[in-house]
């Protein structure tokens, strides 16, 4: 009970991250370098990939299929692709981190044997690496919004607020899965299937208003629904986040992070025996 009460204070996590800041920085740099290890262009792929993907989405969904968002047709043919790309950026932060989680401890057995090594930083470094790549994608999206939609909104600064629940949610689930992956190896394959399903039940390719009312209620139980919507509000539409749903998801995500952290620390004692 004492541990839970202590973890309710965000300062606890800030202190833990600060204590291990050098290791977190070092391992995050390693994650970034390993992603493009051996490639000729290296880190430049972080800029090329979002440009290519946005170009493909724009051509396929705006030019070929002439996609429209909702009942009211946007005046600009490129808007649908940008709205969709914005949702994909937010979801990829979550999915790419969570999909890696079950193999993180198994893939770093040498650190498990070191009693003093803080294993809990491994999911953090993967998340930070994905956040950096997502930041590059957001800059690409903002450039496209400025060129094709001819506006830049001040609400973009709120991205640092709307991303907080996503960080909490991703860390909590990643801590849980990275521990579970040590004991149940098949969980890695299950997680990939689950995130693929979650992708399609999150309003990324379609607006939430297009969903029948009966299913819409259930979709809001998916935290990514609110997170993706708030990403679009501050980046694309120049609106403030939906504060009522934001604070609900913020609280839920923080609770998930607390229990994920507790689970990881309770189960880590058996890592060395299993591995």
The DSSP secondary structure of 95-106, one letter per residue, reads HHHHHHGGGTTG
What residue ranges in 114-266 does DSSP mark as E strands?
Answer: none
* Average pLDDT of the chain, as a whole number: 85
- Closest to 85 measured CA to CA, from 202, 218, 183, 232: 232
User: Using CA atoms, how far apart are residues 228 and 248, in angstroms rounded to an integer?
Assistant: 15
User: Using CA atoms, how far apart are residues 39 and 59, in angstroms rounded to an integer?
Assistant: 27
190 close to 184: Cβ distance less than 8 angstroms: no
Work out the end-to-end distance of the chain between its first and last CA atoms, rounded to an integer number of angstroms: 30
Which residues neighbour 76 within 8 Å (Cβ) at sequence distance 6 or greater? 148, 149
Lowest mean pLDDT among 127-131, 152-156, 174-178: 152-156
pTM tops 0.85, yes or no? yes
Q: pLDDT band at 134, cuts 50/70/90?
A: very high
Q: Check whether 94 has a pLDDT greater than 80.
A: yes
**SS3 assignment, position 268:** helix
Lowest mean pLDDT among 122-131, 216-225, 244-253: 216-225
Give me the pLDDT at residue 185, please. Answer: 86
- HSE-up of residue 197 (Cα within 13 Å, Cβ side): 8
Which residues neighbour 112 within 8 Å (Cβ) at sequence distance 6 or greater? 105, 119, 271, 272, 275
Alpha carbon separation from 211 to 150, 201, 206, 214, 218 (Å, rounded): 30, 10, 8, 8, 10
76 close to 148: Cβ distance less than 8 angstroms: yes
Q: pLDDT band at 35, cuts 50/70/90?
A: confident
User: Using CA atoms, how far apart are residues 98 and 255, in angstroms rounded to an integer?
Assistant: 17
Per-domain residue ranges of the chain = 2-274
Q: Check whether 54 has a pLDDT greater than 80.
A: no
Q: pLDDT band at 186, cuts 50/70/90?
A: confident
In what helix (H) or strand (E) does residue 205 lie, and over which residues does it extend? none
User: Using CA atoms, how far apart are residues 230 and 87, in angstroms rounded to an integer?
Assistant: 10
Give me the pLDDT at residue 48, please. Answer: 74
Q: pLDDT band at 176, cuts 50/70/90?
A: very high
Which residue's entry shows tokens 């009211």? 72
User: Using CA atoms, how far apart are residues 231 and 236, in angstroms rounded to an integer?
Assistant: 8
Give me the pLDDT at residue 105, please. Answer: 92
123 close to 97: Cβ distance less than 8 angstroms: yes
173 close to 223: Cβ distance less than 8 angstroms: no
């Amino acid at each position: 009970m004492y541990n839970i009460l202590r973890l309710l204070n965000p300062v606890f996590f800030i202190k833990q991250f600060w204590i291990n800041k050098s290791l977190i920085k070092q391992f995050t740099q390693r994650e970034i370098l390993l992603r493009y290890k051996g490639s000729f262009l290296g880190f430049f792929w972080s800029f090329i990939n979002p440009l290519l993907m946005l170009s493909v989405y724009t051509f396929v969904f705006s030019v070929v299929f002439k996609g429209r968002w909702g009942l009211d047709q946007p005046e600009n043919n490129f808007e649908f692709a940008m709205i969709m790309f914005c949702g994909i950026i937010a979801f990829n932060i979550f999915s790419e981190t969570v999909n890696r989680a079950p193999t993180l401890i198994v893939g770093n057995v040498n650190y498990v044997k070191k009693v003093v090594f803080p294993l809990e930083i491994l999911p953090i470094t993967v998340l930070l690496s994905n956040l950096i790549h997502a930041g590059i994608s957001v800059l690409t999206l903002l450039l496209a919004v400025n060129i094709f939609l001819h506006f830049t909104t001040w609400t973009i600064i709120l991205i640092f607020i709307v991303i907080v629940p996503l960080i909490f949610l991703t860390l909590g689930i990643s801590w849980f899965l990275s521990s579970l992956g040590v004991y149940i190896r098949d969980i890695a394959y299950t997680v990939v299937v689950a995130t693929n399903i979650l992708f399609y039940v999150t309003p990324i390719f379609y607006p939430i208003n297009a969903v029948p009312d009966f299913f819409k209620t259930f979709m809001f139980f998916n935290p990514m629904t609110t997170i993706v919507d708030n990403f679009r509000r501050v980046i694309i539409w120049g609106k403030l986040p939906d504060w009522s749903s934001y604070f609900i998801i913020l609280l839920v995500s923080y609770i998930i992070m607390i229990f994920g952290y507790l689970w990881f620390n309770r189960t880590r004692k058996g890592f060395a025996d299993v591995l």
